[in-house]
Amino acid sequence: MSTLFARQLERARRPSGEIDLDLLGGLVTSAYEEAVRDRRRTDRSMNLMIEELEQVHSRLLDALDVVPEGFALFDSEDRLVLWNRQYLELYGESRDLVVKGVRFADMLRGGIERGQLPDAIGQEDEWLARRLAQHAQARNSQEQRLPDDRWVRIEERRTQDGGSIGVRIDITEQKRRENELRQAKEFLDTVLESVPASIMVKNVSDRRYVLINRSGESYLGMSREEVVGKTAFEVMPQQRAELLTRRDEELLTIGREVTYPEETVESRQGDHRTITSRRLVIPDINGKPLYLLSVVEDVTERRRAQSQIAHMAHHDALTDLPNRAAFNEHFKAELERAEAGNQSFALLCIDLDRFKEINDIFGHATGDALLCEVGQRLQQVAEGAHVARLGGDEFAVLLTSGDQPGSAALLADRLADAVAEDVEIGNQRLRTGLSVGVAIYPADGGDTTTLLANADAALYRAKTDGRGTTRFFEPEMDQRLRERRALQHDLQSAIVRGELELHYQPQMRVGGAIVGFETLARWRHPTRGYVPPDVFIPVAEESGLILKMGEWILREACNEAASWPKPLEVGVNLSPVQFRHGDLPALVHAILFETGLPARRLVLEITEGVLIGDFSRAVSILRRLKSLGVKIAMDDFGTGYSSLSYLQSFPFDKIKIDRSFISNLETSAQSAAIVRAVIGLGRGLELPVVAEGVETKHQMDFLTRESCDEVQGFLFGRPQPIAAYSEAVGRRKPSAAARFAAG
């Protein structure tokens, strides 16, 4: 019977693999009833009939155990009558609840108590009532989660006698696959929504949109609810919709991906966007066109950024004038054009006069604003000439029209006049000017390098001639510039070669003895001889060599002074460049420690240029220096803009009157008045005053009458090697024999 029942059971299985519960219930019931009828027709004893019934029951269970699904049969009072092995295995730890005669409700309660039904946790009563109501229905189907992450689908049917039959199908693998598919779909949806390009999909059949991502909504200016289910004619302007329709037909004809170049479209907001697009056909499983996919990328901002980057690469960030790179490209192209056409053009190199002073006194913001205003003025009067800012306060102009050099001279005058008018920035009225150097092609050079060098040489001459002037290149200018560059080259190795040496000039107390010496650097060039300090010091400052040179001077001077038997002061000049680079106080402290010179004997002399610019930083450095115990002297007092205000800002130890006032004492009443006022100022501030450049007895008499504290000049001693002042510093004068032996 079990074999026959199994065959009948297989016939009861649907094509999907599931069992037809109605047919299964009928088979079980029929088999059971047939057994009863067979037993009734027999006239055997009751005991034999029961025995055979039990055998039938056993065979029926054997047949049900062949079924892969869990199976259970309940009678009209919802008591468990029959079940198979698979049913037990599904419920793991609760299998001891599965006993004949147990009520369905009691099985559920036991399962809840043992945690067999995790979905019921926290709502046990509500869940049980809902489940029993489902069980009472004629038919019901549901999914149930088990505690070990397994899932079963429950199919239940009521039988004709009021009982019920139920099948439990393990759908764990199916749920896993569904979950994987759901996660994959969510991932793909996330990717689709995150793609910066607009993605739109249409049906081939009716050309209606079936999908649009977030970027597509932004591109169309419409929500997907407004787009999905509609055609292009319903969501786009007529002309655009017609174009897309033609492209759809072309795509279906070609049958492969089509890429369209950049084009400009008008958005719903009225602005114009630059886009690129790709379109392709998505077929069904049979290869027949099913969908049309469009990928649209809005490259408007990218093109704007690229344009801005290109502009920034060729324009000055401050003035928006063409920069050096753009100027070089234009210069090269103009040179090639002029050479091919046998034409001439002019190159004007321009510097702003007094720009550094304005920048230092009023700050970089004011300096930047001045550069912007000057750049605009130059461009306004250039009349088509190519104006560029090369950097700092350097500008250049290429004039390619007109006869040269006459046109260049006229343009230089126009440029100078445009800048000569005052510039109002904030509450400041500033006045500047132009120094212009001009070189003419081809007379002054046949290539860009030569023309630039010669225009720069002419500019250098214009600045040295008093600024505010225009100079055209002359051959001797190139020679001067070459000499200056050669001087800078030689200066780089002067220290290493031992060409620098220190000379010392005595400083006297009026009516008294020597109180100290000022240290002065001298350069003994192997071929040029002694190079004046006013020649090589500016070169050193411009090139940055003053940092290395200044450190050497300070160390040599301190080392020398530390060897003097007399505790005289030694003065060392500091450059403004030394305040802007490195840690000057740390350097001074290290050299004092290294040489053993007491700090009180070192006098550091500064000019007003140290304080111009970053005043706060300079004062901070001066205070750190003074905390070491050294003295600070204000040199060249009276020649700057704000000498008096600086005396109020920092407690200097000395004031040195500039030699220009002392040299004019005999001829200028104004100079005498200024010197008299400075001495009185020093007396009032209790600051010693040192007069520089004293060369005559008349000057000395004047300073004595005015009670000047100290003097320095040729009248008392020229700058010389310290050996010339051996006795003054306390060393013994060498004997004649020693001098003879040394010589």
Concatenate the DSSP letters of all residues of 543-554 into one string. Answer: HTHHHHHHHHHH
- Domain edge (last residue) among 255, 270, 303: 303
Residues 575 and 636 reside in one and the same domain:
yes
Instruction: Assess contact for 136 and 157: CB atoms under 8 A.
Output: no
Q: How confident is the model at residue 722 (pLDDT cuts 50, 70, 90)?
A: very high
Q: What angle, 0 to 180 degrees and rounded to 10, lies between the N-to-C axes of helices 615-627 and 584-595?
A: 20
Rounded mean pLDDT of 705-728?
A: 92
Instruction: Assess contact for 568 and 515: CB atoms under 8 A.
Output: yes
Which residue type occupies 468?
G
Residues 541 and 414 reside in one and the same domain:
no
Q: Is 209 helix (H, G, I), strand (E, B) or coil?
A: strand
Instruction: Assess contact for 73 and 165: CB atoms under 8 A.
Output: yes
Residues 102 and 204 reside in one and the same domain:
no
CA distance 351 to 389: 10
Task: Report the candidate in 211, 214, 212 with the shortest Cα–Cα distance to residue 196.
Answer: 214
Rounded mean pLDDT of 33-44?
A: 59
Residues 294 and 319 reside in one and the same domain:
no
CA distance 331 to 687: 58
Residue 366 domain flag: yes
Task: Report the candidate in 642, 560, 631, 561 with the shortest Cα–Cα distance to residue 607.
Answer: 642
pLDDT of residue 119: 85
Structural domain harbouring 237? 195-303
Residue 246 domain flag: yes
Residues 143 and 99 reside in one and the same domain:
yes
Q: Is the pLDDT of residue 217 over 60?
A: yes
Residue 740 domain flag: no
Residues 152 and 77 reside in one and the same domain:
yes
Higher-scoring residue by pLDDT: 419, 737: 419
Q: Is the pLDDT of residue 71 over 50?
A: yes
Residue 433 domain flag: yes
Instruction: Assess contact for 603 and 631: CB atoms under 8 A.
Output: yes
Residues 565 and 592 reside in one and the same domain:
yes
Phi first, then psi: give them for residue 609, nearest 5 degrees: -60, -25
pLDDT of residue 645: 67
- Domain edge (last residue) among 417, 439, 473: 473
Maximal C-alpha separation, the chain: 168
Q: Is the pLDDT of residue 739 over 50?
A: no
How many Cα atoms are found within 13 Å in the side-chain-facing hemisphere of 362? Answer: 20
Q: Is the pLDDT of residue 737 over 50?
A: no
Instruction: Assess contact for 501 and 721: CB atoms under 8 A.
Output: yes
Rounded mean pLDDT of 13-18?
A: 61
Total count of domains within the chain: 4
Residues 537 and 638 reside in one and the same domain:
yes
Q: What angle, 0 to 180 degrees and rounded to 10, lies between the N-to-C axes of helices 324-341 and 300-314?
A: 70
How many Cα atoms are found within 13 Å in the side-chain-facing hemisphere of 682? Answer: 25
Residue 582 domain flag: yes
Residues 333 and 298 reside in one and the same domain:
no
**Residue 596 tokens, joined:** 């053993």
Task: Report the candidate in 283, 294, 289 with the shortest Cα–Cα distance to residue 260.
Answer: 294
Residues 624 and 675 reside in one and the same domain:
yes
Residue 741 domain flag: no
**Residue 496 tokens, joined:** 């290493």
Residues 126 and 35 reside in one and the same domain:
yes
678: exposed, middle or buried (Cβ count in 10 Å: 0-12, 13-18, 19+) = buried
Instruction: Assess contact for 516 and 571: CB atoms under 8 A.
Output: yes
Go through the chain and tell me how many residues it has.
Answer: 743
- Domain edge (last residue) among 303, 326, 345: 303
Rounded mean pLDDT of 403-413?
A: 86
Residues 87 and 200 reside in one and the same domain:
no
CATH of the domain at 650: 3.20.20.450
The alpha carbon of residue 58 and the mean position of all alpha carbons in its chain are separated, in whole angstroms, by: 82
CA distance 61 to 57: 6
Q: Is 635 helix (H, G, I), strand (E, B) or coil?
A: strand
Phi-psi group of 221: left, alpha or beta (phi > 0 → left; psi -120 to 50 → alpha; rest → beta): left
Task: Report the candidate in 146, 149, 159, 58 with the shortest Cα–Cα distance to residue 95.
Answer: 146
> What is the 3 state secondary structure string of 210-252?
EEECHHHHHHHCCCHHHHCCCCHHHHCCHHHHHHHHHHHHHHH
Rounded mean pLDDT of 381-396?
A: 88
This prediction has a pTM of 0.46
Residue 253 domain flag: yes
Q: How confident is the model at residue 642 (pLDDT cuts 50, 70, 90)?
A: very low
Residue 492 domain flag: no
pLDDT of residue 742: 41
Identify the H or E element spanning 41. Answer: helix 21-41
CA distances from 107 to 103, 132, 442, 712 (A): 6, 11, 110, 118
CA distance 541 to 84: 103
Quick one: what percent of the chain has pLDDT higher than 90? 19
Q: How confident is the model at residue 743 (pLDDT cuts 50, 70, 90)?
A: very low
Cα of first residue to Cα of last residue in the chain, in angstroms, is: 142
CATH of the domain at 202: 3.30.450.20
